[in-house]
Chains A and B, each alone.
Chain A
């Protein structure tokens, strides 16, 4: 019994990512065609070269036909999957395993979500028929439960925590301002963030990720084949996915200052990748900043800061673009919104750009200094009841 991983067995040879935003003029089909075409062009292969497809989407379609129909895929396996907010990363993980197993030579992972057509603020519901006893609070409210618990545990006053949350939103918008694919491409002042209308608990509108449409895709081959297609592939170092027992909301021992699922998936991923000190070894981390307190707690759960200290590191700029470890260099969910099925692959797209030195004005300096690893992370669900994905990719195959 072990989580062995598939370190260096598969590689990414091409990626595509649409701009994220309010695509009133584009359908789900359009977004899929755009992302798939960009990824295939990036890899320099025709769609016929791809042997199997994994499509991640939560709300925007069911079955493999959601992808095969717009792309006119000729009689190939197309799997459609969802795993909450880790949906895009799950499409990638499963495609990687298919190639690593030898079942296919080349696979595509693609994620898409069109949220803006519903007309709702936030996410639409999709509950199965139920007994009416589930708490009907919104996603920002669920994650805002973290704020008073964190303050209480570490003795922070609420105003200080608000400053920390504001700094996270400010940093991610600052990064997003440098990214042509982001939904929000301008810096936002701390004053505007801090004074934005409250949504849930201490969370203002600017503490919440936006609602957008988008799609992203990756083409995957066996690692030994990668250089046939590109001089600069990314090698998959670790893929970890964890579903927790969802016991936090019924277990008095859970204290709402951590995501145990993230801790477990990070430990698994570091073991697979051979990472000992993530803060010193990673060039960047794209983490699931659905709400600003989430990013704060992730810094501790992912091992970037000791328990109870991430707030100080945030204020000190440790996770800024030019900080010790750049977190959400592309602007994060804050700047991109969160089209569920696409987000994980959008994060991977940033790793693709950064580790290959193609990130332009937001290029992380530590890559040039020799850091070669990037993390992508998603969590889906709510505090105490979530799924977590941690992936690590690198620009060099270990000897």
Chain B
């Protein structure tokens, strides 16, 4: 039997009339990463904060590393590492001083310089927090989460607001942690992040799970070979109909958004060929036509009709 780093069942959290989390089950197998993927406001942060012990669930049970918050809160806190959304560390102290403070809370810690090395902050260790870039600050909060050498790491939107390069550096640090046997629970609204880091994703919307599995299997459930997006020139859009497009070979789903048509197709070559013929027949000229392999974003759109970044 596989060991579970985390098991949460039937989580419910209400704020007045709003049900932020509505019956969520989550499991993180030891040594793996689970990503909670969903748009802003889907209840991801509420869910992860209940598991971190910051919010009390209205219903449901939580077991972290074989312990419950009721029976052994400090035992859990000693063994988890947490990066919250939007923590802004004290500005006047240095990176190393910050890390020293966090290390003082734990019975056992890693060597501080080793942690600084791991997050790539060795050169910046004597810089004050106020002089760090957004990416460096984020890596320092990661270091604070890693200083206790945790078994389970919680990351709440770890790369929001970072540029692509800074984002990749955060991903590398998480991968290093995982390769050392650590488990991770991650929330994100970036599908690239979930695809890259997660062994398993749980897609959430409005507090509920709407899909779960490995990134590949969740994408596979779309039964799509590729996604085709067409941008017709002025006036062309009116000459296209959902029904006509859906009748083309290989097209399984059609969606119109603004000036764009998106087709989910299960046979790229046949579909694109007949699509171009159809466009010629009805006299539609294209600005462009793009095809791409299906992503978690496409899964989310297919399931909810919304985009992940719509919030």
Chains A and B belong together in one complex: no
